[in-house]
Amino acid sequence: MTLVVGMVSAVNLAIPSLSRSALQPSAAAVLWVVDGYVAVFACLLVPAGALADRLGRKGVLLAGTAVFAAGCLLAGTATDVGVLIAGRMVSGVGAAAVLPTTLALMVAGTPPAGRAGRIAVWAAMTGLAAVLGNVGGGAAIQAGSWRALFLAAVPLSLVALALAAAAAPKTPRYARPVAPLGVLLLTCSFFVLLFALVSGPQQGWTSRTVLGSFAAAAAALTWWVRRELRSAHPLLDPRLLASPPVRAGALGMTVVFTGMFGLFYLNGQYLQYAKGYSPLGSGIRLLPMAVALLLAPRCAVGLRRRLGERRVVGLGLLLLATGLGTVSLVGARTPYPFYALGAVLTAAGCGLATPVLSHAMMSALPPEQAGTGSALQSLTRELGSALGVALNGTVIADRFAANLPRALRGPHAPSTVAQAQRFSVDPSLRHAVLQDFTGALDTGMRVLSAIVLTAGALVLHWFSRPGPVAERAGSERTRQKR
């Protein structure tokens, strides 16, 4: 789990190295390198869990680890950007098979008294994944190049594969249905939405391609919802969102991870482009974020008892928005401690809000829907992560292209800082490029902060409404069967 989650944060440190490479990816291509993995990861999480129950969790874990390694190998040896993106998507398929099976196998056969400890270890590894992803990924990139990051994951995956084959227990198989059409509709709707967001700056927000993509995403998602409502065995029942606490938790998780991963996307770029740190130096300077992610959830438990869930969620969202707003004030000459302050506030807000949102969702559901609730949590986390990267990357690319120095404008204008610096010999021009980048970064952070505040108000509104425990879906389906 640490390996597949750590790769999400590690790849952001590779963006400057990748942008300077012989592949010369555009800003849109860089976004797909980062988001292709997360989007596939998100959309296949729920069906992968159902498939693991049907085929056997250990077998799916081993197969997923092997697919993840194959994708990393393909990405690390890619000779063009298209192959690199394909490798990242293959790795995302493997990651989706790995994540839901790890916790299930860890608690398999464990007495109830010992499960809490194992679950706590599993949850703590997400924070450790952020640390190892930043530091380990930075070390790999500095020792080689962006290719070293992906190639280093291959032997680690093989070691994990061997250990899992020897140690993971075999579990019973369960006859859970897997609907291929539902999986295809959900995946297509999200990928078309991401395509529209990423293509907007280059093709124009009112172009036929972009508007058509938004319409196609809405149509596919509507078809998926209608199909799930009519299915006797839905992949993810939309009726769960009839309960305000579940709605609040789902939207809250999506918003929190949108803000968090929007910041993750630019951490490595700002610290390397603007501050001149090495990949490893950048990773080390992100450790305060990892510490906040580890400590804030522990504080949330005590605060929830004293202040109540709604106030703790509000405090977390406010800290998150404040952190993003703080980062929106940085420039090329801003001291690192000020940037670190904004990053730590963002991480602390995420760490405070996430466990309370998770608890609220699970408490609002009956015990027989706990598995579905867990799947909904995982889906909203990863979808929020992919949206954060796409939204922030799109805003930065749009503002960067709009404010390029005149000497660099034209039909072949650069779309990334690395490309602009390659054509900029004059120091004053290079400084202007950095100012353009940090100005675009600031705009992206303000947009994300506004999204967190706006959506956060809706989350808190739903939290104040104790809706029905979402069991109407189950009873309604039972009546339909009768």
Cβ(375)–Cβ(236) below 8 Å = yes
pLDDT of residue 80: 92
CB atoms within 10 A of CB 83: 14
DSSP state of 369: G
Cβ(284)–Cβ(135) below 8 Å = yes
pLDDT tens for 350-401 read 988 988 888 777 777 766 565 566 677 778 888 888 889 888 988 998 898 8
**Sequence letter at residue 112:** P
pLDDT of residue 476: 46
pLDDT tens for 297-324 read 888 878 888 888 889 999 999 999 999 9
By the 10 Å C-beta count (0-12 exposed, 13-18 middle, 19+ buried), 341 is classed as middle
pLDDT of residue 231: 79
Question: Counting every residue, how long is the chain?
Answer: 482
Rounding to the nearest 10 degrees, give the CA dihedral for residues 92, 95, 100, 102: 180
The pTM (predicted TM-score) of the whole model is 0.83
**Sequence letter at residue 256:** V
Copy the structure tokens of residue 77.
Answer: 């040896």
Closest CA to 187 of 229, 235, 226: 235
Closest CA to 326 of 347, 340, 315: 340
pLDDT tens for 378-390 read 788 888 888 898 8
DSSP state of 340: H
pLDDT of residue 372: 64
The Cα–Cα gap between 385 and 80 comes to 25
The Cα–Cα gap between 190 and 387 comes to 10
Copy the structure tokens of residue 188.
Answer: 């297509």
pLDDT of residue 478: 45
Closest CA to 4 of 79, 81, 90: 90
Q: Which residues of the chain have pLDDT under 50?
A: 467-482
Q: How far apart, in Å, are the Cα atoms of 165 and each of 55, 61, 106? A: 16, 9, 13
Q: Dump the DSSP string for 89-114.
A: HHHHHHHHHHHHHHHHHHHTT--HHH
Phi (first) and psi of residue 103, to 5 degrees: -65, -40
Query: Collapsing DSSP states into helix, strand and coil, what is residue 466?
Result: coil
Rounding to the nearest 10 degrees, give the CA dihedral for residues 365, 39, 330, 328: -50
pLDDT of residue 469: 43
Q: How far apart, in Å, are the Cα atoms of 244 and each of 300, 308, 457? A: 21, 17, 13
pLDDT of residue 326: 96
Q: How far is CA 176 from the centre of its chain?
A: 27
Cβ(384)–Cβ(317) below 8 Å = no
Q: Helices 27-55 and 81-107: crossing angle, nearest 10°?
A: 30
**Sequence letter at residue 178:** V
pLDDT of residue 474: 45
The Cα–Cα gap between 186 and 222 comes to 10
